[in-house]
Amino acid sequence: MKSFKRLIYPYLVWSIIFIVLPMLIIVFYAFSKDGNSLIPFKLTLSNFARFFSDPIFVNVLWRSLKLALVTTLACILIGYPAAYFIASLKPNSQSVMVLLITLPQWINMLVRTYAWRGILLETSVAPEIKVFIGMIYNFLPFMILQIYTSLSKLDQSLITAAHDLGCDNKLAFLKVTLPLSVPGIISGITLVFLPAVSSFFIPKLLGGGSYILVGNLIEDYFVTTGDWNFGAAISLIMTIVILISMYFTRKFDYDKEAR
């Protein structure tokens, strides 16, 4: 066993270098500002006060959360019927359908978003709708595949037993299929909501610069204005939001399992 435990050391080193240290740097910049020649940096909370005191930044955060939530709900409404249909097919047909869903994912997301930019360029659709379309297109396969995985593992004898006990198809779905597929839904929510709330190139390409999300703010303050302290503060705020959302989604999943 000790020899197997040693295999984790490279992963720990990799995690420290590429995850822990960057996060510590982000935290340091978020709680500091430029000082003087004697003290290069000063600890401060002014970066966070600046964000929450300006209604523009708060509105951008709310807009990002709202768009990510609507995108996630839309992916569930579209993805669950699609996953249910795929799971009801014969095994060979299921493999073909899964391949068709994953095939576009072999192309870089940036390239696919550029393609949608060309499609929507000459249309009179509002920037918000364009971004919404791009979000659903890019993240819907993650929802479908997660729900399909749960449905494909479902023991069909449970549905047969529900029918034997007097349930019709609708009631059997509500009492058996839907509750047992909740883990797939939760996984799909995690894979859709988290990247959607922090996405920056989809609104930048499809929104035409007129639809700003939190990801765009972070990019602008790091790349364009060079205000790393404020950009790090926004990044840390988004990290906290994402951790809170992960906590509630996982807690909901654990509560379902406990039942």
> Sorting pLDDT into bands at 50, 70 and 90, what band is 231?
very high
Could you tell me where the DSSP H helices lie in the chain? 2-5, 8-15, 21-30, 46-53, 55-87, 91-102, 109-120, 127-152, 156-164, 169-172, 178-180, 182-198, 201-206, 214-219, 228-258
Tell me which CATH homologous superfamily contains domain 55-258.
MetI-like (1.10.3720.10)
pLDDT tens digits for range 85-123: 999 999 899 999 999 999 988 888 889 999 999 888 888
Percentage of the chain modeled with pLDDT above 90: 46
**pTM of the prediction?**
0.86
Mean pLDDT, to the nearest integer, of 143-164?
A: 88
Give backbone dihedrals phi and psi of 32, rounded to 5 degrees, phi first: -140, 170
Mean pLDDT, to the nearest integer, of 232-253?
A: 85
Mean pLDDT, to the nearest integer, of 16-30?
A: 90
Mean pLDDT in the chain? 87
Which of these ranges, 38-47, 50-59, 126-135, 218-227, has the smallest mean pLDDT? 38-47
Residue 244 above 80 pLDDT?
Answer: yes
Highest mean pLDDT range out of 117-126, 185-194, 239-248?
A: 185-194
Contact 242, 198 (CB under 8 A): yes
For residue 49, the model assigns a pLDDT of: 94
For residue 50, the model assigns a pLDDT of: 92
Q: Which residue ranges make up each domain of the chain?
A: 55-258
> Sorting pLDDT into bands at 50, 70 and 90, what band is 256?
low
Q: Which pair of tokens denotes residue 4?
A: 């197997």
